[in-house]
Amino acid sequence: LQQQSAPEDVELARVLRQLRDKFEGALKVVESFQAKNSNNIFNTVMTYMPQDFRGTLIRQQRERSERNKQAEVDALVNSGGTIRERYALLWKQQMDRRRSLSQLGSATGVYKTLVKYLVGVPQVLLDFIRQINDDHGPMEEQRQRYGPPLYSLTKMVLNIRLFLSFSWWRFEDIKMQKNQISVLEEAVQVYVSELERFLNFIGEVFANSPFFVTAEEAGALEGNKNNGYSETTVGAGKTHEVSLTVETVNSYIAWDFSILQGKISTDIGFSVEHTDSSGHKTPILPYRRYESDQGNFCTVMAGNYRLVWDNSYSAFFKKALRYKVDCIPPVVEPVPSTAAAEGE
């Protein structure tokens, strides 16, 4: 179109560029809506999880998964994938997210090991996230109630696409008339504005849904505050140590601790070192002073890991230490059995 000098062709090219920009803007709105609601659901679920390294590991697992999914989409787009191929990939990824949520609720898949450590998580929550996308679950109820307006918009944009495809196919023989271009512009504007209005509305519906209740609102936090923590006093000039034996590489060493504060803010030194079977010591986390800290790392060596809280620099002040440490076995997707594979 840009190579032709006819004024009507130049005008049509301008209009099509504007329509493209509007559709791209609508796509960004949809992607933002999906990401926001996915994060809201996940963050609501996470309020019920222990607020220590176990919840952190689940969050890290999800972040890795989302980065991998985005990389898949980018690779497809950069390789010239079609709209149909992109839709198929996005649909597959959404089904993977549902399956992952179900695995968290039923303690299977990559979450099988982690959920074992989630003592204190209400069973009703695990049941909910396992069933949220069931055929008769909460999300299906929302689809039945609010889906028809969205389906109408989908039908509308498919008709717009059909009109554009047909017009482009016969462009050399029959040029689009001004009234057709005007109708097309108006149709796209109606679609984009109505889609944004619907997404704003459904976003409010989800934000105020009675089945998305945080742990604080449900009063579930009180029972978990001291779950699994130990408390000890580290005397002036003394240290406190915890040793963990790791038998399998790719295990997680995780910790969560804080110094119970009085009138004067205090801290304590903390470090981690590894000792192999021959007695050779390797620093893992260098010494540093903290008021509190939460962290984890994936082991690359078996052996003994020593976590040390060091108050040797203090000549007068003892420290009240509240801590939790653990060694969590590798978090991996279970390999299907040979019999199960043959059955498929």
CATH number of the domain to which 278 belongs: 2.60.120.680
* Residues 132 and 212 placed together within one structural domain of the fold: yes
Amino acid 105: pLDDT: 54
Domain presence at residue 338? no
Amino acid 211: pLDDT: 58
* Residues 311 and 167 placed together within one structural domain of the fold: no
The residue among 186, 218, 250 that closes a domain is 218
Amino acid 51: pLDDT: 64
- One digit per residue, the tens of pLDDT, for the chain of length 344 reads 445 457 777 777 888 889 999 999 998 998 888 888 778 777 776 776 666 666 777 777 778 888 898 899 999 989 998 878 988 898 888 888 777 766 665 545 545 445 544 444 555 556 666 666 667 766 777 778 888 888 899 999 989 988 888 777 766 566 677 788 889 899 999 999 999 999 998 888 777 765 555 555 555 444 455 556 889 999 999 999 999 998 888 888 889 899 988 767 789 999 999 998 888 899 999 999 999 998 888 888 889 999 999 999 998 889 999 998 888 777 554 444 444 444 44
What are the tokens at 195? 């889609």
Question: Could you tell me the residue range of the domain that residue 119 belongs to?
Answer: 7-218
* Residues 100 and 71 placed together within one structural domain of the fold: yes
Bridge partners of 269? Answer: 289, 310
* Residues 174 and 307 placed together within one structural domain of the fold: no
Domain presence at residue 339? no
Amino acid 238: pLDDT: 94
* Structural domains in the chain (count): 2
* Residues 211 and 247 placed together within one structural domain of the fold: no
* Residues 56 and 182 placed together within one structural domain of the fold: yes
Tell me the chain's radius of gyration from C-alpha atoms: 28
Q: How many residues belong to the chain?
A: 344
What letter does residue 120 receive in the DSSP assignment?
A: T
Amino acid 241: pLDDT: 95
Amino acid 22: pLDDT: 93
Domain presence at residue 38? yes
Domain presence at residue 265? yes
Domain presence at residue 1? no
DSSP 193-252: HHHHHHHHHHHHHHHT-TT---HHHHT-SGGGTTTT-EEEEE-TT-EEEEEEEE-STT-E
Domain presence at residue 340? no
Q: In what order do the strands lie in the sheet with 239-246?
A: 239-246, 303-310, 268-275, 281-290
* Residues 155 and 180 placed together within one structural domain of the fold: yes
The residue among 183, 218, 253 that closes a domain is 218
